[in-house]
């Protein structure tokens, strides 16, 4: 039976191609943040510019509920569709060039 040890190699540039799940995890975080920011901005605009006769609770339901969920779902759907384009670009370029701080696990077997 072979035992494996892992060494970490640090770098600042790499070529990667994310799986669909990894891509969507990043997209979900970005989509959720986008939905919250847009919802807060819309709510601020409504607070500042709302007419006195408008029912605030109905407006809150629309903005906080439908807009938040709508922006999130729309962003996720567009991210899923854009994964196809991302995959084609990565396949053509043999990965996507990214920069940052990376720790790569490298397996080595002891005999």
Specify which residues 46 forms β-bridges with: none
> What pLDDT digit, counting tens, does each position of 23-73 carry?
999 999 998 888 888 888 877 777 776 666 666 677 777 777 777 788 888
How far apart CA 97 and CA 16 sit, in angstroms, is 7
> What pLDDT digit, counting tens, does each position of 71-93 carry?
888 888 999 999 999 999 888 88
Mean pLDDT, residues 2-20: 72
């Amino acid at each position: 039976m072979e035992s494996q040890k892992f060494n970490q190699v640090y770098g600042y540039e790499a070529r990667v191609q994310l799986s669909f799940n990894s891509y969507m995890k990043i997209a979900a975080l970005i989509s959720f943040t986008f939905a919250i920011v847009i919802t807060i901005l819309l709510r601020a605009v409504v607070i500042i510019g709302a007419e006195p006769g408008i029912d605030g609770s109905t407006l809150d339901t629309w903005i906080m509920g439908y807009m938040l969920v709508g922006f999130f779902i729309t962003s996720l759907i567009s991210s899923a569709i854009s994964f196809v384009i991302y995959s084609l670009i990565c396949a053509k370029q043999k990965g996507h060039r990214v920069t940052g701080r990376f720790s790569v696990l490298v397996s080595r077997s002891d005999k």
